[in-house]
Amino acid sequence: MYKDYPFTSNYLSVRGGRLHYIDEGTGSVIVMVHGNPTWSYYYRNLIAHFRLNHRVIAIDHMGCGLSDKPPDYPYCLAIHIENLETLLVHLGIERFSLIVHDWGGVIGFGCAVQRLDQIDKIALMNTAAFRSTRFPWRIRLCRLPVLGEIIVRLFNGFAGPACHMAVVNKLAEETARNYLAPYNSWNNRVAIARFVQDIPMHKNHRSYARLVEIENRLLLLRDQKTPLLILWGGKDFCFNDHFYKEWQRRFPKAESHYFIDGGHYVLEDKIVEILPILTRFFTK
């Protein structure tokens, strides 16, 4: 179905739905966690590269990619972390590294801070795992009751524009189609809407306490000197320089690479530059 995504699909039943994941290669484990509104397709070039010398696991969150998209599922931070945990237990993963992007950051770090003695290295791209009030009006608009649902699910006003706004270099038509293919209807865009709604902007939000817990435990990763690599697209309208500098403040010894001409989908814009950096990071 996807020429540039030639991987074997695997499924795990969680809470009555099928969770899709990729499990390729052998060796030390690298777990790749995507954000919203992408899916494991975002990591296709990394999967193809690292499976030659590593075991690569890439999850599609419930409601995303090739996973099931149940309408009444509890799409929230705690459940996404739980699903990632369930997958790792199912696969018998006892030690692993992480690559995270966008919402995959807080989900991946949410798992990592619970498995401190099992984490080797973490590479992050344009993401956050701490509180912030800096979110653009476009995203706030998509959070509004009723109107947000219409924008995101009826008119595809989140995933669709992302294929243009999240990159500096225009995506090939086939690539853009592949990003959007799993999200081709009102029903199939339910998780995209729920992800936007699940951004914890105030203390009464259901995911706020869990975010604070993850934020506080980031210090444990720093204190145990977990190697951290920051890869950042400088032309990101959402995860802008404020977030980049905050990661550097929290992890002052992290290796950082800032791509001034990279967008939010930084792997699309800068894969040629990023691939050797990641290769060196995971092999040194």
Cα distances (angstroms) measured from residue 118 to each of 12, 115, 179, 217, 247? 22, 5, 32, 15, 22
pLDDT at 194 over 80: yes
Question: What mean pLDDT is predicted for residues 107-118?
Answer: 97
Cα distances (angstroms) measured from residue 160 to each of 41, 74, 165, 166, 168? 15, 24, 9, 10, 15
Please report, rounded to a whole number, the percentage of residues in the chain having pLDDT higher than 70. Answer: 100
Evaluate whether 7 touches 56 at the Cβ level (below 8 Å): no
**Distance between start and end Cα atoms, the chain:** 36
Domains and CATH numbers, the chain: 9-283 (3.40.50.1820)
pLDDT at 43 over 80: yes
The one-letter code for the residue type at 238 is: C
Question: What mean pLDDT is predicted for residues 168-179?
Answer: 98
Residue 137: the pLDDT is 79
Q: At what angle do helices 208-223 and 77-90 cross, to 10 degrees?
A: 50
Q: At what angle do helices 208-223 and 103-112 cross, to 10 degrees?
A: 60
Question: What mean pLDDT is predicted for residues 144-154?
Answer: 94
Residue 136: the pLDDT is 81
Residue 138: the pLDDT is 83
Integer Cα distance of 78 and 210 in angstroms: 7
Angle 28-30-31 from CA coordinates, rounded to 5°: 145
| pTM passes above 0.95 | yes
Integer Cα distance of 22 and 5 in angstroms: 10
Integer Cα distance of 261 and 244 in angstroms: 15
pLDDT at 162 over 90: yes
The two beta strands, 17-24 and 9-14, are antiparallel
Question: What mean pLDDT is predicted for residues 15-20?
Answer: 95
Alpha helices of the chain — where are they, by DSSP H?
A: 44-50, 77-90, 103-112, 137-142, 147-149, 159-165, 173-180, 190-197, 208-223, 241-250, 266-283
Digit-coded pLDDT (tens) for 203-228: 999 999 999 999 999 999 999 999 99
Q: Buried b vs exposed e over 125-153: b needs ≥16 C-beta within 10 Å?
A: bbbbbbeeeeeeeeeeebbeeeebbebbb
Residue 33: the pLDDT is 99
Residue 123: the pLDDT is 98
Digit-coded pLDDT (tens) for 118-143: 999 999 999 999 999 887 878 889 88
pLDDT at 174 over 80: yes
Question: What mean pLDDT is predicted for residues 255-274?
Answer: 98
Model confidence at 53, in pLDDT bands (50, 70, 90)?
Answer: very high
Residue 59: the pLDDT is 98
Residue of 132 and 276 predicted with greater confidence: 276
